[in-house]
Amino acid sequence: MLMDFVVWSSTRASQEAEVLRVPLSRDLSPVRGTLEPYAEEMKTKIQQRSSSNRSCRARWGPEELKQRVDQRLQEFQDTVVPMADQVQVEMAQRALMVRQAVAPYAEDLKGKLDPYAQDLQAQLTSLYQSFVNVNNSFINRHWECITNIRVQVIF
């Protein structure tokens, strides 16, 4: 019965996760759509600049090249960091929404599993106590034999 409940609970949690995945994917799709053009643009610019840098290396000295690379890196950071911050904030908000949506199910599951856990604990306690009682009974009944064996081994 406990195993059936665990399987049912696991199936239920999987179904709920799937239900939550769809709106989360839908909500993150605009973010992805917003970032993809920037990523493609950056990729294109990097490829263009890479080929441009090859030809420029021959014309420019190392110091000038370093300055241009530093300038481009700063431009890249100025563009990407705000977007990354926005994505981080949105992801944190979505994670909070998922956590809030799942919390009632987790509490419900805990409430349903607690009686089984308590019953299992009672069964284990009873089993342990039975073991101790049987062991003590065995020792009490056979104490004289055990003592004699010990005495014979010593001498």
- Within a domain: residue 94? yes
- Within a domain: residue 12? yes
- Within a domain: residue 130? no
Length of the chain: 155
- Within a domain: residue 129? no
- Within a domain: residue 62? yes
- Closest by Cα among 113, 94, 137 to 1: 113
Q: Which domain holds residue 14?
A: 2-112
Q: Which two tokens stand for residue 87?
A: 């994505």
Residue range 16-35: average pLDDT?
Answer: 76
Q: What are phi and psi of 60, to 5 degrees?
A: -100, 155
The Cα 10–Cα 5 span in angstroms is: 8
CB 60 within 8 A of CB 68: yes
pLDDT tens-digit profile of 79-94?
Answer: 888 888 888 888 889 8
pLDDT of residue 121: 93
pLDDT tens-digit profile of 92-110?
Answer: 898 898 888 888 888 888 8
- Closest by Cα among 75, 56, 52 to 65: 56
The Cα 93–Cα 15 span in angstroms is: 22
Q: How many domains are contained in the chain?
A: 1
- Within a domain: residue 152? no
Give residue for tokens 């190392």.
Answer: 62
- Within a domain: residue 21? yes
Q: Which two tokens stand for residue 50?
A: 């890479």
The dihedral built from the CA positions of residue 131, 134, 137 and 139, taken in this order, carries a sign that is negative
Contacts of 102 (CB under 8 A, 6+ apart): 16, 17, 20
pTM over 0.85: no
- Within a domain: residue 118? no
The dihedral built from the CA positions of residue 42, 48, 49 and 51, taken in this order, carries a sign that is positive
Q: For 78-87, 110-119, 142-151, which range has the lowest pLDDT when averaged over its residues? A: 142-151
More confident residue, 78 or 21: 78
The Cα 118–Cα 123 span in angstroms is: 9
